[in-house]
């Protein structure tokens, strides 16, 4: 612990919020040279400062808040100065870390310096061969473009001068590089959860960037992930990041740094894909973090999810079915890796695991792993309002059960409903997989979708559902009409038959009462006599009995 020095421009009372960024810390550890005289400028989280201190020589930190400075002074081997950048007069430093950028380095008593003037002030503190790490927020970021809040609410009113009206701020990678007095390697920074070398393109960094943005709390007009993918295809991934990190005067580091659970994943591009390293971490619960299940090499290629989204949108169920069947053959439960189609890569005719380190803590069967993957896919397909060919009454458990069937999982036997709202047989089948998928969403820190476009689309879908249900009711009523008509036809026929029956009975009665019928019946009976002589003898004897003999 050291005493806090105070220079011109300090602020009190005031505090600047900071957040831990393991990926950023890992990048700094890779690029900062050891044993050099170091200056950390602006607010950085204590854990990040500690990671800088691990390898640095004499280290000084400048923050504008006196209270923040007092807290930071608890750290060993750190000289903390409270004050503004323009108030600091010092010998030049061999390393300068300003990963937070130059927005929070002036106080209310400072001159109104533009961004470039602050950069000049920073440069004055660096030796000619210094290693400088400088962050900059991207005014053109996709997250900023899709931010649903108006500008005056987006940045709050906590800054006494509107920083973002500064026309000297660079708003692209090339502008940043050109304005810096040093040669720089620039990383596209996605909420400090994923950092990607601005010169690198590929499916993996795109996925990691999208995941980083999906974990933010920024209220957006529409989902960010789609825009990220499109920008990446256009080669503009670095152009739409939430910020940049310029690394000046240091050796090149790895191409990708990304937060994965509590650990950090790093990746370098190869000719066929990505060489991956994942740090160890301990997470217990339904899902366990296991860095060892992440393959050392992940191939280039689209994910299964992307392929399935396209097939569903094309309503190409046979092709969808084939992919699902191949997935069913490919999946085994041995490793216990929780399957997610957005992290399984299509590798030629085969599939390959991506970078997900999440495994199921308890032993789980192949069917439940498949269910978890299909349920997650279901949530992203339906929740994302993507086009698909399945009717609304299938959406939910039945649809997941259908996909499971395509993957070779036996469907459940139909069960007799006991009430109108009895769940389908598929509800039991998919229950465990749903739990696993929900647990994955928690560890991935995925937020429920609350963007405006989805809300409007949800309302539209509800309206459409109502429209279709009304049509369905109409159809049922029409069917009832048809059935009613058929019943009436039968009723009329029965009435006709009854009339015919009555007429026939009357006619029969009339015939039975006639002499002709009596004679006919007599003849009919007489015709049945087989032995006429014997019959005549019997008749004669009976007559004799009835007629008394003459005496």
Partner 1 sequence: MHHHNHYYGQAHILARYAGLDFDHPPRLRGYLQHGWNIGCGWNPVHEFYDGAWRFTWSDAPRRRGHALGRRNYHSIGAPFLYLLDLEPAAEEEREGTLWFLFHGWEGGKIQGDHQRLIDEIRETEPGPVTFSLYYTEYERPEVRRYYEDAGFRVVSFGRRGFSYERTDRRFLFKQLAELRRHKRVAANRLSTAIFYGVAAGCEPAVYGDPMQMEGENPLFGGESRIKRLWPEMLGKSIDLEAARATTDVELGRSWMMPAAELRMLFDWRERV
Long-range contacts of 424-431 (CB under 8 A, 24+ apart): 424/397, 424/398, 425/401, 426/397, 426/398, 426/400, 426/401, 427/397, 429/367, 429/371, 429/397, 429/401, 429/404, 430/371, 430/374, 430/375, 430/397, 430/400, 430/401, 430/404
Interface with partner 1, residue 420, by CB under 8 A:
yes
417 binds partner 1 (CB under 8 A): yes
DSSP 220-284: BSS-HHHHHHHHHHTT-GGGGSSEEEEEESS----SEEEEETTEEEEEEE-SSEEEEEE------
- Which of 422, 495, 514, 524 binds partner 1 (CB under 8 A)? It is 422
CB of 247 to partner 1, least distance (A): 51
Q: How far apart are CA 463 and CA 20, in angstroms?
A: 43
Which of these segments, 219-227, 291-299, 477-485, 540-548, binds partner 1 (CB under 8 A)?
477-485
Contact (CB, 8 A) for 247 and 185 = yes
Scanning 124-132, 168-176, 238-246, 402-410 for contacts with partner 1 by CB under 8 A, the matching segment is 402-410
For the chain, first and last CA: distance in Å?
162
Please give the C-alpha separations between residue 110 and each of 10, 122, 278, 406, in angstroms, as whole numbers.
9, 15, 43, 66
Name which position in 467, 534, 537, 539 contacts partner 1 (CB under 8 A): 467
User: Cβ 403 to partner 1, closest distance in Å?
Assistant: 10
Contacting residue, 54, 277, 315, 500, with partner 1 by CB under 8 A: 315
474 binds partner 1 (CB under 8 A): yes
462 near partner 1, judged by CB under 8 A: no
Is 470 a binder of partner 1 (CB under 8 A)? Answer: yes
Q: Is residue 313 within the footprint of partner 1 (CB under 8 A)? A: no
Nearer to partner 1, 305 or 398 (CB): 398
C-alpha 500 chain-centroid distance: 71
Find all residues with CB under 8 Å of 362, minimum gap 6, and list them: 286
Binding residue for partner 1 (CB under 8 A) from 8, 154, 297, 483? 483
- Binding to partner 1 by residue 402, rule CB under 8 A? yes
**# chain residues binding partner 1, by CB under 8 A:** 43
DSSP string computed for 178-200: HHSSS-EEEEEEETTTEEEETT-
Say whether residue 407 binds partner 1 (CB under 8 A).
no
> Is 14 among the residues that bind partner 1 (CB under 8 A)?
no
Query: Interacting stretch for partner 1, rule CB under 8 A, among 15-23, 181-189, 241-249, 389-397?
Result: 389-397
Q: Is 463 in the site for partner 1 (CB under 8 A)?
A: no
In 3D space, the residue among 205, 246, 249 whose CA is nearest the CA of residue 229 turns out to be 205
In the block, which residue shows the tokens 């006991």?
A: 418
Q: Of the listed pieces 120-128, 136-144, 211-219, 390-398, which binds partner 1 according to CB under 8 A? A: 390-398
Compute the least distance from the CB of residue 391 to partner 1, in Å: 5
Tell the smallest beta-carbon distance from residue 340 to partner 1 (Å). 24
- Measured in degrees and rounded to the nearest 5, phi and psi for residue 90 equal -155, 165
Among 101, 115, 109, 116, which Cα is nearest to 42's?
101
Contact between 478 and partner 1 per CB under 8 A: yes
**List of residues contacting partner 1 (CB under 8 A):** 315-318, 389-391, 393-394, 398-399, 401-402, 405-406, 411, 414-420, 422, 424, 426, 464, 467-472, 474-476, 478-479, 482-483, 485-486, 489
């Amino acid at each position: 612990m050291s005493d806090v020095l105070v220079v011109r421009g300090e602020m009190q009372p005031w505090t600047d919020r900071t957040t831990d960024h393991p990926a950023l810390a890992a990048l700094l550890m890779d690029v900062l040279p050891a044993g050099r005289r170091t200056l950390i400028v602006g607010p950085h989280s204590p854990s990040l400062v500690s990671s800088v201190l691990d390898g640095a020589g004499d280290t000084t930190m400048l923050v504008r808040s006196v209270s923040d400075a007092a807290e930071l002074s608890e750290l060993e081997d750190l000289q903390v100065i409270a004050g503004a950048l323009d108030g600091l007069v010092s010998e030049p430093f061999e390393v300068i870390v300003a990963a937070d950028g130059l927005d929070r380095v002036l106080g209310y008593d400072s001159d109104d310096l533009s961004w470039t003037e602050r950069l000049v002030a920073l440069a004055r503190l660096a030796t000619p061969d210094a290693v400088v790490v400088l962050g900059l927020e991207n005014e053109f970021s996709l997250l900023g473009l899709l931010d649903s809040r108006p500008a005056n609410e987006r940045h709050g009113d906590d800054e006494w001068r509107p920083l973002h009206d500064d026309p000297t701020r660079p708003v692209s990678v090339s502008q940043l590089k050109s304005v810096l007095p040093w040669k720089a390697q620039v990383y596209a920074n996605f909420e400090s959860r994923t950092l990607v070398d601005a010169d690198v393109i590929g499916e993996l960094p795109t996925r990691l960037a999208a995941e980083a943005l999906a974990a933010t709390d920024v209220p957006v007009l529409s989902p960010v992930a789609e825009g990220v993918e499109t920008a990446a295809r256009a080669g503009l991934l670095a152009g739409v990041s939430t910020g940049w990190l310029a690394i000046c005067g240091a050796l090149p580091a790895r191409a990708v740094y990304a937060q994965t659970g509590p650990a950090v994943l790093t990746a370098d591009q190869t000719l066929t894909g990505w060489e991956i390293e994942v740090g160890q971490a301990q997470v217990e619960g339904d899902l366990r973090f296991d860095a060892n299940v992440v393959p050392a090499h992940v191939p280039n290629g689209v994910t299964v999810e992307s392929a399935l989204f396209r097939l569903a949108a094309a309503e190409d169920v046979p092709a969808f079915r084939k992919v699902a069947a191949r997935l069913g053959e490919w999946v085994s439960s041995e490793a216990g890796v929780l399957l997610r189609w957005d992290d399984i890569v299509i590798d030629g005719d085969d599939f390959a695991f991506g970078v997900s380190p999440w495994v199921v803590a308890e032993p789980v069967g192949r069917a439940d792993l498949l269910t978890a993957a299909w349920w997650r896919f279901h949530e992203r397909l339906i929740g994302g309002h993507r086009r698909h060919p399945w009717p609304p009454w299938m959406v939910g458990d039945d649809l997941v059960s259908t996909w499971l069937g395509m993957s070779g999982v036996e469907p459940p036997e139909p069960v007799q409903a006991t009430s109108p709202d009895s769940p389908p047989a598929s509800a039991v089948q998919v229950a465990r997989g749903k739990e696993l998928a929900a647990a994955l969403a928690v560890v991935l820190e995925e937020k429920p979708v609350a963007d405006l476009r989805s809300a409007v689309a949800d309302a539209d879908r509800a309206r459409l559902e109502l429209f279709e249900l009304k049509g369905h009711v109409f159809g049922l009523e029409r069917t009832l009409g048809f059935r009613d008509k058929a019943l009436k036809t039968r009723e009329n026929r029965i009435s006709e038959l009854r009339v015919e029956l009555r007429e026939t009975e009357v006619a029969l009665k009339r015939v039975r009462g006639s002499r002709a019928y009596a004679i006919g019946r007599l003849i009919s009976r007489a015709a049945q006599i087989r032995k006429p002589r014997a019959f005549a003898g019997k008749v004669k004897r009976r007559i004799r009995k009835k007629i008394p003999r003459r005496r």
